[in-house]
Amino acid sequence: MKLCSVSFISSLIALQLLPLFTIVNGQQATDSCNSTLPLKDLAFDSRHHQCVEVWRVQNYILRYARTVENTWSFILSAPDSSAYIGIGFSTTGQMVGSSAVVGWITSDSRSGSAKQYLLGGKSPGEVIPDQGDLKIINGSLKIESVSSRLYLSFQLRAELPRERLLYARGPAEFFPSSPDFRLREHQFMTTTTINYNTGPATFGPSMSPGPGSSPPSPSSAYGLSPSLLFLFMGLVALKFY
């Protein structure tokens, strides 16, 4: 009986340690505004960029600066989740009518692509590649993968870029491909309003899941995760065994 009890407790402890191992292994995919930017061969100087944690749930980091008059540079950093990442510039705060920059790196060939898209509607056929009103400087648009993170960089010609920004993460293992480069609907999306002069951002809905996304894990009535509550109940049962 003792051997069975010890085995039971060991199994419970192992279940609790799994999230910790996940966190440790995921540390290489984190970024922050205190981190050194690990990019080389950028088309612009990134040393004096403003930095904002624009989507904490997904660990999206935006760096930006006015490099010369009427020219702005952007670097969007996000975990490499084997999905596309995107940033949209909107006049209304809504997706429809916006122009977006989207990038991805395929899992098999590790080849990267980045394009501007016109978000003309909510169906895939209304999201048009190589269209939009962003004046992207030729040769500045690129995406890189470094230490399990994606870095989408580009330059815009604008007196002041639109302050209402959209961020999206696509469904896993789907990558736009030739010849039409159509996007599937995002899995997660959020909106922010950013002040380019002061840096801080006003956040909209923290997360808007698209079709097929998983709901958040439930919590117990006592503020414990289900696995922690299960461990507690198991230990109490063993005490009276």
pLDDT, tens digit, 9 for 90 and up, residues 140-165: 999 999 999 999 999 999 999 999 99
What is the DSSP-derived secondary structure letter of residue 198? Answer: T
**Distance from C-alpha of 192 to C-alpha of 237, rounded to nearest angstrom:** 48
Q: What is the pLDDT of residues 164-190, one digit of tens each?
A: 999 999 999 999 999 999 999 999 999
How many CB atoms lie under 10 A from the CB of residue 45?
10
pTM for this model (two decimals): 0.74
Edge-to-edge order in the sheet of strand 60-68: 50-55, 60-68, 71-79, 149-157, 142-146
* Single-letter amino acid, residue 74: F
Delimit the domains of the chain by residue range. Answer: 38-203
Give me the chain's average pLDDT, please.
79
Going by C-alpha positions, the residue among 228, 77, 239, 80 that lies closest to residue 167 is: 77
Q: What is the pLDDT of residues 15-41, one digit of tens each?
A: 444 343 333 334 447 899 999 999 988
**CB crowding 59-75: b at 16 or more within 10 Å, else e:** bbbbbbbbbeeebbbbb
Structure tokens at 161: 């870029």
Structure tokens at 219: 């919590």
Q: What is the pLDDT of residues 74-128, one digit of tens each?
A: 999 999 999 999 999 999 999 999 999 999 999 887 779 999 999 999 888 999 9
Q: Does domain 38-203 have CATH number 2.60.40.1210?
A: yes
